Structure 1
Amino acid sequence: MLLDVPDAALGIDYGTSSTVAVIRSPDGRIRPLLFDSSPLLPSAVFINDAGRILVGRDAERSARLAPERFEPHPKRRIDDLDVLLGERAYSVTDLVAAVLARVRDEVARTLGGTPPSVTMTCPATWGAARRQVLLDAAAAAGLPPPTLVPEPVAAATYFAAVLGHAVHIGQCVVVYDLGAGTCDVSVVQRTPDGFRDLSCQGLDDVGGIDLDALVLSHARTVLKPELWQRLSAPQTVADRRHTTMLWTDARHLREALSRESSGSMFIPAADEEVLLTRQQFEQAAEPVLRRTVDLALSTLRQARVQPGAVAGWFLVGGPTRTPLIATMLHRATGVAPTVLEEPQLVVAEGALHLAGAAAAPPSAPPSPPSAPFAAPVSAPPGVPVSSPPGMPVSPPPGMPVSPGVAAGPFGPAPMYAPPPYATPPSESSWPPTSPVSGPPTGGTTPPVVSVAMAAPASEATGAAVSTPARAVGTGLAELYGVVAAGFASMVLLLIYGNWGAPSSWLVAGLLIGAAAAWRAWRLVGPGPRVADWTAIVLAGIGAVVMLAYAAMEVA
């Protein structure tokens, strides 16, 4: 039995394509676990001849021997009760548990035991049933009961706590998460206690796998039709083996095009080499990625957040290293997003910081700064903050560049200087969503999730919390303001036209007028939230008085 290691913690991001685990040692050092000398453990599983579940690269190597016993993406089967591998069905919980057991073994080898604190991430849109699969799998793997954290909250925590970007209370981070199987965009707001989701939407049919399919579509143009039919719908073991190899090589070629201007893949079944340039790949990928950009803008509108309240755009997930993604988002928003060399590690380490900050007492709010943003601090040693070679994102022709935006690769500092809060831009300043073939699927507004975290370094060192962003309001309060203004206008007109109006109508008009005046002020100026709700109550009382008197008059 493994012993607990005091003061140690483990953060796990179980992904569609890869699983990442980050540990905090008792001495406070944070580092990713290595699996076969890599921080990325493939989430793939394989059933060997003895019925044992192999995971990771062992599973990928064995898949070429018996591809019918191989499942490359168990997370995509999360809604299935069982998965048929070979001649036997396995529950998704068992498949996930096998991967987590490999993580447990590596943690035990590295630390000599199991950390008492385990934090796992999951998509913000997942419901209770899907989350329970992760909890059951962790228990079956012998891990302590984990704390589940939404992936965008963990990413925003990394953005503030590790990269040192200043995200003040009321400001938001837009997390663009493109994984192997899905694309999720979340607007995460900074609160006094940490971060919470304001809005989240997703596409279940856009991910790195779908970009790999574009590479295969190009390969199809050089293959004979009968050979492509065999590879696209394999019937024999040999064909399934070639299909598995083809998908793996397509992923490698797509990743190579993130660094190089061209690449090639060899297809043994056809004994041919397929050449593909980055320009050809981007032409095919642009319509697919356009849907994700439209999703990002739609999610921002759904959260009712204006550009001035956005502290930054953060790209996470391995496929976001594709240069076209950052370029398209830059063109659509005028803001250069932040992308790292290893975006797959972001969520796991952010979850680890949440685990360490949950018990930390909240810091006292410092005095306001002279500028909307505090000066960022540099990232800790060993944290990659620049984009990989070949990923420059230059502003589009004719687009003005704000101070702090470089025309070359990204840097660790904030990428733009937003307009001051005194003149917040209107919502119409965001470019309209371009038409797509259909509305984004899988969109949902999750319940508010608030997770405690330590204050960003800029706040902990005495930098100030700026005025809360007024772009984030309550739609209910604004609706009451409009209704109150209408009632007030009607009452004042009645009183002006008939001086014999009863005093109750006059009182009601004054209450509603005061509420409307307060709401009008809150649209352009700061104010406490308690006063907002007081105005709502006053407007409601005024409306009730007027309706009651009108009912008595009719009776």
Structure 2
Amino acid sequence: MASSAAQIHGLGVGSGISSTSSRKPSFSFASRSVFFGQNLGKTTATFLKHTNNTSRRRYSTGPVRIVNEKVVGIDLGTTNSAVAAMEGGKPTIVTNAEGQRTTPSVVAYTKNGDRLVGQIAKRQAVVNPENTFFSVKRFIGRKMSEVDEESKQVSYKVVRDENGNVKLECPAIGKQFAAEEISAQVLRKLVDDASKFLNDKVTKAVVTVPAYFNDSQRTATKDAGRIAGLEVLRIINEPTAASLAYGFERKNNETILVFDLGGGTFDVSVLEVGDGVFEVLSTSGDTHLGGDDFDKRVVDWLAGNFKRDEGIDLLKDKQALQRLTETAEKAKMELSSLTQTNISLPFITATADGPKHIETTLTRAKFEELCSDLIDRLKTPVENSLRDAKLAFKDLDEVILVGGSTRIPAVQELVKKVYWKRSQCHCQPR
């Protein structure tokens, strides 16, 4: 397996990056290529094709009776989720009720007690920040002592129960939810949309989780499925699912590294792929690193500048914090294709002197400066996974970039600069 054959491919959506984007930049490292912008749902769909047979046989004392049951594959993401099913022998991403291939992992409760899930919940987040739950995947299966930093990044209240577990407070209905209860609402919508799309009841699913999820987090994910009325047939690591999607029907044996940077977690897996067999050699990761952390750097920068100029701390205003978070995510996405972006937040707050606004410009260089330590943190899990697999980068044939946060140019540059010689690297449009 010569190193000159190495390629990097991008699969996936996350951290707010749209799967429908037509932007697919590519790079070439001499005979090596880099591709970005494929669809995350393909990962779940192709994995489903490999691991699930939608026909289950039930035997009686009489003739054999074959009962067909639909089994879906679900990618329960921090920012967006997707569901796939087998149609005509091929994996198909299910379109939700809004006509989209991905569903925001957001749940909200109105003052009237109505529950909103998906895009409709995301749209009203600014006016209802304390009752809109997002990035819940970062809290699932965790103790409160593990999520001190994450709890400060959200506009809703994260509290500790008597056992030290994480609870999410919902003032609108006077109730506290476990993170898996909120995730269950997202799963329920995905399954309901899948049932309508397939015109068949869906009760069983395969669900992907980050490779670095511990037993508690995996169990909580299964519990979320159970609460949603689903039988979770199997939990599969997201990097493994990505390698299955990429390596399907490949005949040559290859060594693959999956670099999965999503909205809430970072995973790395090294796998041997060939002849339909996928062997995981090692996994590593960081469950406290994802697109949300890049967003927070922009939020803190905006809030810090505003406090310096106006003397007002916007981070203490739940509504302002939600607006800052949404704006930061949008700016991050725009900086993947632009060298600078304008940020405009009119009427962000008001004082006795009148309304206050934010009007500023964020350059890609400044964004990369704000996030430089986050970029550096990506190196350690990669190095650990290779060490555990007793391999070097020259032994890899493929590197698969998964997750929306891998569209950040600085992340792509890290792969180019650190893991390949610059003399072999040049860029070309695709």
Distance 2:69 2:135 in 1: 33
Distance 1:19 1:250 in 2: 20
Classify the secondary structure of the residue corresponding to 2:306: coil
Cα–Cα, structure 1 residues 203 and 228, in superposed 2: closer, same or farther, change >3 Å? farther
Q: Which amino acid aligns with 1:37?
A: G
Picking from 167, 177, 180, the partner of 1:82 is: 167
Partner of 2:84: 22
Q: Which amino acid aligns with 1:84?
A: E
Picking from 414, 419, 427, the partner of 1:328 is: 414
2:155 is aligned with 1:155:
no
2:314 is aligned with 1:294:
no
Kindly indicate whether the alpha-carbon contact (under 8 Å) linking 1:8 and 1:26 is maintained by their aligned counterparts in 2: no
Q: Which amino acid aligns with 2:125?
A: A
After TM superposition, list the pairs within 5 Å mapping 1:42-441 onto structure 2: 42-78=104-140, 79=142, 80-86=165-171, 87-115=174-202, 118-161=205-248, 166=250, 168-169=252-253, 171-190=254-273, 194-220=277-303, 222-225=305-308, 229-232=312-315, 234=316, 239-268=317-346, 269=348, 270-334=356-420, 396=422, 399-400=423-424, 407-409=427-429
Cα–Cα, structure 1 residues 117 and 141, in superposed 2: closer, same or farther, change >3 Å? closer
Deviation for aligned residue 1:27:
5.5
Deviation for aligned residue 1:121:
0.5
Partner of 2:16: none
- Hey, which bits of structure 1, 4+ residues long, moved more than 6 A? none
Cα–Cα, structure 1 residues 118 and 301, in superposed 2: closer, same or farther, change >3 Å? same
Partner of 1:389: none
Distance 2:298 2:123 in 1: 22
- Larger radius of gyration, structure 1 or 2? 1
Kindly indicate whether the alpha-carbon contact (under 8 Å) linking 1:175 and 1:186 is maintained by their aligned counterparts in 2: yes
Q: Which amino acid aligns with 2:367?
A: F
Higher RCO structure (Cα 8 Å, ≥6 apart): 2
Classify the secondary structure of the residue corresponding to 2:108: strand
Cα–Cα, structure 1 residues 38 and 83, in superposed 2: closer, same or farther, change >3 Å? same
Distance 2:232 2:405 in 1: 31
Classify the secondary structure of the residue corresponding to 1:174: strand
Partner of 2:11: none
Scaled by the length of structure 1, the TM-score of the pair is 0.55
Distance 1:151 1:121 in 2: 5
Cα–Cα, structure 1 residues 31 and 20, in superposed 2: closer, same or farther, change >3 Å? closer
Question: How many residues end up aligned between the 2 structures?
Answer: 332
Cα–Cα, structure 1 residues 195 and 89, in superposed 2: closer, same or farther, change >3 Å? same
Kindly indicate whether the alpha-carbon contact (under 8 Å) linking 2:204 and 2:231 is maintained by their aligned counterparts in 1: yes
- Whose strand fraction is larger, Structure 1's or Structure 2's? 2
Partner of 1:542: none
Q: Which amino acid aligns with 1:224?
A: K
Picking from 39, 44, 59, the partner of 2:101 is: 39
Distance 2:75 2:281 in 1: 22
Deviation for aligned residue 1:325:
0.9
Distance 1:55 1:308 in 2: 45
Partner of 1:476: none
Deviation for aligned residue 1:228:
6.7
Deviation for aligned residue 1:272:
2.6
Kindly indicate whether the alpha-carbon contact (under 8 Å) linking 1:104 and 1:142 is maintained by their aligned counterparts in 2: no
Q: Which amino acid aligns with 2:168?
A: V
Cα–Cα, structure 1 residues 114 and 409, in superposed 2: closer, same or farther, change >3 Å? farther
Cα–Cα, structure 1 residues 167 and 325, in superposed 2: closer, same or farther, change >3 Å? farther
Distance 1:33 1:216 in 2: 32
Cα–Cα, structure 1 residues 277 and 186, in superposed 2: closer, same or farther, change >3 Å? same
After TM superposition, list the pairs within 5 Å mapping 1:389-538 onto structure 2: 396=422, 399-400=423-424, 407-409=427-429
Deviation for aligned residue 1:97:
1.1
Structure 2 unaligned regions, length at least 5? 1-55, 57-66, 143-164, 349-355
Deviation for aligned residue 1:32:
4.1
Percent identical among aligned pairs is 25
Scaled by the length of structure 2, the TM-score of the pair is 0.70
Distance 2:166 2:304 in 1: 38
| Deviation readout 1:307-352 (Å, 9 max, x if unpaired) | 3431211111111111111111111111xxxxxxxxxxxxxxxxxx
Distance 1:201 1:167 in 2: 27
Partner of 1:425: none
Q: Which amino acid aligns with 1:148?
A: I
Kindly indicate whether the alpha-carbon contact (under 8 Å) linking 1:13 and 1:120 is maintained by their aligned counterparts in 2: yes
Q: Which amino acid aligns with 2:200?
A: G
Partner of 2:32: none
Cα–Cα, structure 1 residues 199 and 311, in superposed 2: closer, same or farther, change >3 Å? same
Q: Which amino acid aligns with 2:137?
A: K
Kindly indicate whether the alpha-carbon contact (under 8 Å) linking 2:108 and 2:121 is maintained by their aligned counterparts in 1: yes
Classify the secondary structure of the residue corresponding to 1:15: coil
Distance 1:228 1:267 in 2: 17
Cα–Cα, structure 1 residues 168 and 98, in superposed 2: closer, same or farther, change >3 Å? same
Kindly indicate whether the alpha-carbon contact (under 8 Å) linking 2:209 and 2:235 is maintained by their aligned counterparts in 1: yes
Cα–Cα, structure 1 residues 200 and 227, in superposed 2: closer, same or farther, change >3 Å? farther
Deviation for aligned residue 1:117:
5.5
Partner of 2:31: none
Kindly indicate whether the alpha-carbon contact (under 8 Å) linking 1:208 and 1:319 is maintained by their aligned counterparts in 2: yes
Kindly indicate whether the alpha-carbon contact (under 8 Å) linking 1:177 and 1:185 is maintained by their aligned counterparts in 2: yes
Partner of 2:53: none
Deviation for aligned residue 1:150:
1.0
Cα–Cα, structure 1 residues 91 and 333, in superposed 2: closer, same or farther, change >3 Å? same
Distance 2:406 2:132 in 1: 26
Deviation for aligned residue 1:52:
4.0
Distance 1:298 1:179 in 2: 19
Partner of 1:372: none
- Whose helix fraction is larger, Structure 1's or Structure 2's? 1
Distance 1:194 1:186 in 2: 15
Distance 2:124 2:296 in 1: 23
Distance 1:214 1:81 in 2: 24
Cα–Cα, structure 1 residues 111 and 246, in superposed 2: closer, same or farther, change >3 Å? same
Distance 2:193 2:246 in 1: 27
Kindly indicate whether the alpha-carbon contact (under 8 Å) linking 1:53 and 1:98 is maintained by their aligned counterparts in 2: no
Cα–Cα, structure 1 residues 115 and 66, in superposed 2: closer, same or farther, change >3 Å? closer
Cα–Cα, structure 1 residues 272 and 50, in superposed 2: closer, same or farther, change >3 Å? closer
Classify the secondary structure of the residue corresponding to 1:206: coil
Distance 1:35 1:309 in 2: 45
User: Could you say what the CA RMSD is over the residues aligned between the two structures, in angstroms?
Assistant: 2.6
